[in-house]
């Protein structure tokens, strides 16, 4: 909490107190009040108690420690790709994915004065999503821990040549003026969040929650270091008609010989086709870990 800029601290303290009084309703998110994680929590569960946390690790720890029932974490953006470190943090957290939420992202440029501006502060993802806008105006991007925290920082600095890129909500919270709305380079800009809990959804609860909807499963795996292992490992999904909607690789350890894969499929364990595909995948893997099954929030394809 002490790492937030001073203008955000009173809000963080009040929201943390509300969450502590009813942790079953609390959803932890990374960032200062007014950030996109805050928005995502309220859209996903309007009656929740949003709990601001300075880092992604802090938000995950809040769930592990019982200070919040769930956390909502951004995992990928339509314009800027996957969120840094998430592929490492989610498996290491020991938490289960129990939901997903897609949030339309619209950034505003806000400041104490109308400009001109020398530097824009924001989360690296937001800066990347607005890079053409900033470059065209000669504004230097300056990375900060989160978008709304950057707005609080600009307020704290008191520098009229500094601005922040953040959700419009942050301007009202921190007494800044919106200079321009929708400064993102692509107006269909969307971030996918995943919702995590200490326990996975039980099969009966999972299907009851999904109703007539479609289920998703997220997992990580490392294939054995033999020729064609990845091709053979993924063959079970093709032969069983299971749709894989996401497959990304990342390095595991410093040897650069062990590659982990992060994947999403349509379906969940208990479906015979999914069970057969996972059985075949496991045969070719050194490690296979399911991170959770949940209701699909948006159709793929």
**Annotated catalytic, 191?**
yes
List strand residue ranges (DSSP E) for the chain, in order.
Answer: 26-30, 49-53, 70-77, 81-82, 96-104, 108-111, 119-122, 140-143, 162-166, 177-180, 190-197, 215-223, 244-251, 259-266, 285-295
Residue 228 CB partners (closer than 8 Å, separation 6+): none
Q: For the chain, list the domains and their CATH numbers.
A: 6-104+190-197 (3.40.190.10), 108-180 (3.40.190.10), 204-295 (3.30.70.260)
CB 125 within 8 A of CB 241: no
Q: What is the pTM of this model?
A: 0.92
At residue 103, the 3 state secondary structure works out as: strand
Cα distances (Å, whole numbers) of residue 29 to 139, 195, 222: 29, 10, 29
Per-residue pLDDT of the chain (301 residues; tens, 9 = 90+): 458 999 999 999 999 999 999 999 999 999 999 999 999 999 999 999 999 999 999 999 999 999 999 999 999 988 878 887 888 899 999 999 999 999 999 999 999 999 899 999 999 989 999 999 999 999 999 999 899 999 999 999 999 999 999 999 999 999 999 999 999 998 898 999 999 999 999 877 787 777 778 999 999 999 988 888 899 999 999 999 999 999 998 887 666 666 889 999 999 999 999 999 999 999 999 999 999 999 999 998 6
Query: Of all helices (H) and strands (E), which one includes residue 215?
Result: strand 215-223
Length of the chain in terms of residues written: 301
The residue annotated as part of the active site, out of 193, 221, 262, 278, is: 193
The residue annotated as part of the active site, out of 54, 147, 191, 219, is: 191
**Annotated catalytic, 147?**
no
At residue 193, the 3 state secondary structure works out as: strand
CA distance linking residue 234 with residue 231, whole number of Å: 5
CA distance linking residue 165 with residue 98, whole number of Å: 30
């Amino acid at each position: 909490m002490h790492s937030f800029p001073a203008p955000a601290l009173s809000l963080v303290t009040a929201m943390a107190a509300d969450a502590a009084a009813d942790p079953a309703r609390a959803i932890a998110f990374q960032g200062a009040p007014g950030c996109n994680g805050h928005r995502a929590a309220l859209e996903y569960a309007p009656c929740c108690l949003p709990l601001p946390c300075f880092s992604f690790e802090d938000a995950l720890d809040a769930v592990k420690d019982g200070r919040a029932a769930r956390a909502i974490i951004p995992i990928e953006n339509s314009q800027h790709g996957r969120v840094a470190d998430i592929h490492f943090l989610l498996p290491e957290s020991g938490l289960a994915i129990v939901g997903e939420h897609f949030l339309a992202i619209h950034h505003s440029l806000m400041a104490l004065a109308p400009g001109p501006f020398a530097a824009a502060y924001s989360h690296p993802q937001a800066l990347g999503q607005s890079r053409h806008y900033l470059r065209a105006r000669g504004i230097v991007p300056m990375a900060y821990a989160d978008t709304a925290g950057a707005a609080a920082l600009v307020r704290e600095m008191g520098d009229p040549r500094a601005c922040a890129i953040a959700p419009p909500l942050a301007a009202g919270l921190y007494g800044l003026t919106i200079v321009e709305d929708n400064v993102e380079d692509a107006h269909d800009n969307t971030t996918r969040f995943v919702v995590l809990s200490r326990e996975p959804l039980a099969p009966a609860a999972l299907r009851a929650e999904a109703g007539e909807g479609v289920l998703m499963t997220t997992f990580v795996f490392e294939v054995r270091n033999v020729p064609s292992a990845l091709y053979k490992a993924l063959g079970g999904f093709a032969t069983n008609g299971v749709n894989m909607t996401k497959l990304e690789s990342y390095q595991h350890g410093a040897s650069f010989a062990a590659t982990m894969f992060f994947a999403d499929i349509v379906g969940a364990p208990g479906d015979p086709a999914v069970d057969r595909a996972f059985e075949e995948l496991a045969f070719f893997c050194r490690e296979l870990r399911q991170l959770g099954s949940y209701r699909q929030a948006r159709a793929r394809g």
